[in-house]
């Protein structure tokens, strides 16, 4: 087994197996914010990425991607059911997102979570050369820092949580709260999207584990664990270059034409997830049509909602409800060849996403709670002519950075309708000023700035940060 000086560990690898139209198995980039953030960073850096390739049974052997070694961790049917769909996505995910759906607690899920975390820790230990840096990602793997430190005290260990970290009132519900906190504290640096999350974590370390804690460091058995906020970002240069490509510009023109050359295109791009506020947004839009504020011929809504975690019941219920609502809205307000909502559940490549962002006069990103929301950042990056309006939930991490967006509380239906109406009527000069402000911010705070900030704190020598952000 070849070893690396940098090992990234995440539940999901940047590739996902899927079935091509001819029935063959094909690999494609997996959707989701974590991969969007890390994929551009790791290109052409000699590193190993440890993760799951999306299926069940023996781990497939994957060849290197852009020079990065893929180390696959196998998950059995039972692991997927109880670790991924169970503890990770039916307990932690809803709990960490304000319990917008009821978190479910089962003891057998906890056993699977421990078992799978141990497997990831073993894989990371194998892949790391002596003294290497191991960077563990997200809520699926919160025990890995502690488990890894127990086997490999020589490593420098970082942990980053891509999702929100909840306030103590919510976290205290967790039957295994002390173990989870201790697991994360196995890291040298625990990073969050927002300062509030670091504050919540420090409060919990003091309350549950009785540790001396500030919002910047926690003392654990003679060690100091650093904590802090590092808002994740995207590769702005890559998205800008895509958006400027002549074929993407032509594709955007074609898409607009196919949509009937309307005055306004409103776009949303989400994983089909109950945290994304899709139902609330559809309701607001349909009421705007019913009230006569929006005419279907002039304004077209495109909702991209790629299915996610499809065997988890809450996700199945959501998809049924969304599809029923889209059908109702189109049945009531559409005409032949003129649907009120264009609803797409397909996977799109990056160029097609860039073309969609170019077409969107208004981008509606209205999650009920979101760690960051990189779709909002991708949209801003794609608006190379400084046009376009971002309607953004106050409850997305991105809201802390994009003060110039039209911010909205997605739970407030009248507020959402009003904000969409204001966006539809906004003056081009005001929109341009807002977009310029957001683009200037994003340029300074892109994915390389994120990695530099995090890795400089993790590895004081600065060597790693320099290697990862050189390109
Ligand atoms: P999350 O991490 O919860 O999925 P983000 O908005 O942070 O939410 O990230 C979603 C990522 O998935 C973005 O990079 C987006 O471009 C990508 N994505 C979303 N929908 C699709 C789709 N239909 N096809 C391909 N990529 C998608
Ligand atoms: O960013 C949040 C996140 O949960 C990632 O950890 C994950 O890879 C992504 O969303 C997509 O979800 P999943 O891996 O369950 O398809």
Residues 198 and 283 in one domain: no
DSSP H or E stretch at residue 271: strand 264-271
> In this predicted structure, what is the pLDDT of residue 266?
98
**Which ligand 2 atom lies nearest to the CA of residue 137?**
6
In a 3-state reduction of DSSP, which class is residue 57? coil
Residues 165 and 271 in one domain: no
Residue 18 has pLDDT above 70, yes or no: no
Residue with tokens 């052997």: 61
If one counts the domains in the chain, the total is: 2
> In this predicted structure, what is the pLDDT of residue 136?
98
Q: What is the mean pLDDT of residues 116-130?
A: 98
Distance CA 449, CA 446 (A): 5
CA of 33 to the centre of ligand 1 (A): 6
Residue with tokens 């802090």: 228
Rounded to whole angstroms, the maximal C-alpha distance in the chain is 70
**Which ligand 1 atom lies nearest to the CA of residue 276?**
3
In this structure, the residue with its CA closest to atom 12 of ligand 2 is 32
**462 or 77, greater pLDDT:** 77
Residues 365 and 457 in one domain: no
CA of 14 to the centre of ligand 1 (A): 12
Q: For residue 433, count other CB atoms closer than 10 A to its CB.
A: 13
Least Cα distance to 165 among 147, 146, 184, 149 occurs for 184
CATH number, domain at 142? Answer: 3.40.50.2000
97 lines ligand 2 (CB under 6 A): no
Residues 267 and 398 in one domain: yes
User: 3-state SS of 352-392?
Assistant: HHHHHHHHCCEEEECCCCECCCHHHHHHHHHCCCCCCEEEE
Residue 411 has pLDDT above 90, yes or no: yes
Residues 224 and 251 in one domain: no
CA of 370 to the centre of ligand 2 (A): 12
- Residues annotated as part of the active site: 162, 370
Residues 48 and 132 in one domain: yes
CA of 3 to the centre of ligand 1 (A): 31
Among 85, 138, 447, name the best residue to mutate to test ligand 2's pocket (greatest count of ligand atoms within 8 A of Cβ): 138
pLDDT in tens, 35-49: 888 888 887 678 999
Residues 384 and 253 in one domain: yes
**390 or 62, greater pLDDT:** 390
Residue with tokens 């539809």: 424
Q: Are 240 and 66 in contact (CB under 8 A)?
A: no
Residues 117 and 216 in one domain: yes
Q: What is the mean pLDDT of residues 103-124?
A: 98
In this structure, the residue with its CA closest to atom 11 of ligand 2 is 32
Residue 111 has pLDDT above 60, yes or no: yes
In this prediction, residue 24 has a pLDDT band, given cuts at 50, 70 and 90, of low
Residues 266 and 414 in one domain: yes
pLDDT in tens, 213-266: 999 999 999 999 999 999 999 999 999 999 999 999 999 999 999 999 999 999
39 lines ligand 2 (CB under 6 A): no
In this prediction, residue 20 has a pLDDT band, given cuts at 50, 70 and 90, of low
> In this predicted structure, what is the pLDDT of residue 360?
98
**193 or 461, greater pLDDT:** 193
Give the chain's mean pLDDT: 95
Assigned token pair, 318: 């959501």
Residues 103 and 155 in one domain: yes
Ligand 1 pocket by Cβ (under 6 Å): 31-33, 36, 269, 271, 304, 306, 347-348, 353, 372-375, 378
DSSP 300: E
Give me the domain span that covers residue 124. Answer: 4-232+448-470
Nearest ligand, CA of residue 271? 1
For the chain, count helices (H), then strands (E): 18, 16
CA of 209 to the centre of ligand 1 (A): 36
């Amino acid at each position: 087994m070849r070893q690396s000086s940098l090992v990234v560990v995440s539940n999901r690898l940047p590739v996902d197996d899927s079935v091509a139209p001819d029935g063959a198995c094909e690999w494609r980039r997996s959707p989701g914010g974590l991969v969007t953030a890390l994929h551009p960073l790791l290109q052409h850096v000699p590193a190993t990425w440890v993760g799951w390739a999306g299926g069940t049974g023996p781990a497939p052997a994957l060849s290197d991607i852009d020079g990065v070694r893929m180390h696959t961790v196998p998950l059995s049917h039972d692991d997927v059911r109880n670790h991924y769909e169970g503890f990770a996505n039916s307990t932690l995910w809803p709990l960490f997102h304000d319990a917008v759906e009821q978190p479910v607690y089962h003891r057998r899920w906890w056993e699977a979570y421990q078992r799978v975390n141990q497997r990831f820790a073993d894989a990371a230990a194998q892949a790391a050369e002596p003294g290497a840096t191991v960077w563990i990602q997200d809520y699926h793997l919160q025990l890995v820092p502690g488990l890894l430190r127990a086997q490999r005290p020589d490593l420098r260990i970082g942990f980053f949580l891509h999702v929100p970290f909840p306030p103590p009132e919510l976290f205290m519900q967790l039957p295994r709260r002390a173990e989870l906190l201790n697991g994360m504290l196995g890291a040298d640096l625990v990073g969050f999207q927002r300062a509030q999350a670091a504050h919540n974590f420090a409060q919990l370390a003091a309350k549950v584990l009785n540790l001396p804690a500030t919002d910047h460091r926690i003392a654990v058995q003679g060690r100091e664990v650093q904590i802090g906020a590092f808002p994740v970002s995207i590769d702005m240069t890559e998205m800008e270059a895509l958006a400027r490509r002549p074929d993407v510009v032509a594709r955007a023109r074609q898409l607009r034409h196919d949509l009937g050359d309307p005055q306004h295109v409103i776009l949303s791009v989400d994983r089909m997830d109950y945290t994304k506020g899709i139902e609330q947004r559809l309701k607001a839009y349909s009421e705007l049509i019913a009230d006569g504020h929006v005419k279907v011929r002039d304004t077209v809504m495109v909702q991209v909602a790629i299915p996610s975690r499809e065997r988890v019941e809450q996700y199945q219920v959501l998809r049924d409800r969304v599809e029923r609502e889209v059908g109702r809205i189109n049945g009531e307000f559409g005409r032949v060849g003129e649907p009120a909502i264009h609803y797409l559940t397909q996977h799109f490549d990056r160029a097609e996403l860039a073309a969609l962002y170019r077409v969107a006069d208004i981008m509606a990103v209205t999650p009920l709670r979101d760690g960051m929301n990189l779709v909002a950042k991708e949209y801003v990056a794609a608006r190379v002519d400084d046009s376009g309006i971002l309607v953004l939930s106050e409850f997305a991490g991105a809201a802390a950075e994009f003060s110039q967006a039209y911010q909205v509380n997605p739970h407030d239906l009248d507020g959402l309708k009003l904000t969409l109406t204001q966006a539809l009527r906004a003056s081009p000069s005001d929109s341009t000023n807002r977009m310029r402000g957001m683009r200037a911010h994003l340029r300074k705070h892109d994915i390389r700035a994120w990695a530099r900030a995090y890795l400089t704190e993790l590895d004081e020598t600065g060597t790693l940060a320099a290697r990862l952000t050189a390109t």
